[in-house]
Amino acid sequence: MRALKKYLSIDVIMAGVILLIIGIMAFNGYVMSNLSATSLRYPTFVFTVCLVIGTLEIVKGVRKNARTEFKMPVFTNKRNFFFVCGAIIVYASLLTILGFIIASSIFTISYILYTRYEKPVRIIVTSLVIVIVIYVVFTQFLHVNLPQGLILRVIFN
């Protein structure tokens, strides 16, 4: 594992991720679907170029990593990265259940409390007002349906 780590860097990993995505797309298009040659002509060209350049990029990265011990750190603050990613996924998941207003309020309050910003009460109140104003403007004036949430739907219906 340590030997493998020596050759890996964010450059190599990301080139690999791109190739993996292209590979999954290609598997779906060429193996799982029954597409005509005409439909696959242009994607074949694009995927082939991706494959060639991606492979070159990986080889280049591995060779560079073998020569040097220093690698740029991926995260500036790992804890914050995982917190914000987790929070946004939970927020998006709760949108339909709790609705835009409640989910956004919980997300905003928890983020401000997590960052321990001074004068949190004032900021939280301002943010909540922004959430409500946005909801009213979008739903009432711009006719954009934002999730009302199951709870509010039960109360109002």
Partner 1 sequence: MYGVIIEGLLESLSITNLILIFLSTFIGVIIGALPGLGPTIGIALLIPISYGMETTTALLLSAGIYVGAVYGGSITAIVLGIPGTPTSTATVLDGFPMSQQGRSLEALAASTVSSSFGGFVSALFLMFFTPMLSRVVLKFGVAEQFMLAMFGLSVIAVSSRESFFKGLLGGFFGLAIATVGYDPITGYNRFNFGVDYLADGFPFMVVVIGLFGISQTISMAEKAQTISGSTELSGSIWTGTVKVFKNMRVLIQSTLIGSFMGGMPGVGGGPANMIAYTTVANSSKDRDSFGKGNIKGVIAAEASNNATVGTALIPTLAFGIPGSTVAAVLLGLLMLHGVEPGPKMFIEMPLTIYTFFWGLLFTNLILVLVCFPLLKYFAKITIVPYQILVPNIFMLCVLGTYGMRGYVFDVFVGIAFGVLGYFLKKANYPMVCIVLGLVLGRLAESNLSRSLMIHRNLDFLYKRPITLTLLILTAVIMIIPYINIEKIKRRLRKN
**8 A C-beta contact, residue 78 and residue 42:** no
- Distance in Å from the first CA to the final CA of the chain: 58
For residue 2, the minimal CB distance to partner 1 (Å) is 22
**What is the torsion angle, in degrees rounded to the nearest 10, for the CA atoms of residue 93, residue 99, residue 105 and residue 107?**
0
Per CB under 8 A, contacts with partner 1 among 7-46 are 10-11, 13-15, 17-18, 21-22, 25, 28-29, 32-33, 35-36, 38-43, 46
For residue 86, the minimal CB distance to partner 1 (Å) is 11
**8 A C-beta contact, residue 25 and residue 51:** no
Per CB under 8 A, the list member of 20, 85, 150, 151 interacting with partner 1 is 85
The number of angstroms, rounded, from the C-alpha of 101 to the middle of its chain's C-alpha atoms is 22
The number of angstroms, rounded, from the C-alpha of 7 to the middle of its chain's C-alpha atoms is 26
How many residues lie near partner 1 (CB under 8 A)? 67
CA–CA separation, 157 vs 137, rounded Å? 22
In the complex, which residues of this chain contact partner 1 (CB under 8 A)?
Answer: 10-11, 13-15, 17-18, 21-22, 25, 28-29, 32-33, 35-36, 38-43, 46-47, 49-50, 53-54, 56-57, 60, 72, 74-77, 80-81, 83-85, 88-89, 91-92, 95-96, 100, 104, 107-108, 111-112, 115, 117, 123, 127, 130-131, 134, 138, 142-147
